[in-house]
Homo-oligomer: A and B are copies of this chain.
């Protein structure tokens, strides 16, 4: 499996969880300490840290410890990879209709000529 595919696997897996999506949605607004990110959830810290690790492994966020505070930041590059995949599918899907339009126009022209 190539790197692009492996990267999309971990990326989509990371986004297939409501807690992890909520963390991303918070971090696009700006960096935040883990303690603040974890606050809304009724979850033990080790469980929450597993979500943070999955997001880090997918490259969606980065974290840095300064003293006793670990701060997380959003990394926009990986979202771009996922968006590209969606764009590619949409382009192919749309071109299918363009081809159908061309075919219909051609057929219409042929009908008009007869």
Kindly identify, within residues 66 to 106 of chain A, every residue whose CB is under 8 Å from any CB belonging to chain B.
74, 76, 79, 82-83, 85-86, 88-90, 92-93, 96
Indicate how many identical chains form the complex: 2
The interface residues of chain B lying within 8 Å CB-to-CB of A86 are 79, 82-83, 86
Q: Considering the chains assembled together, what is the distance between the CA atoms of A91 and B10 in angstroms? A: 23
The 4 closest A-B pairs by CB, nearest first: A12-B16, A13-B16, A12-B15, A28-B93
Q: Across the interface, do A89 and B25 meet the contact criterion of CB distance under 8 Å?
A: yes
Across-interface contacts of A17 in B (CB, < 8 A): 9
> Do A21 and B79 form a contact, CB below 8 Å, given A28-B93, A93-B28?
no
A1 interface residue (CB < 8 Å to B): yes
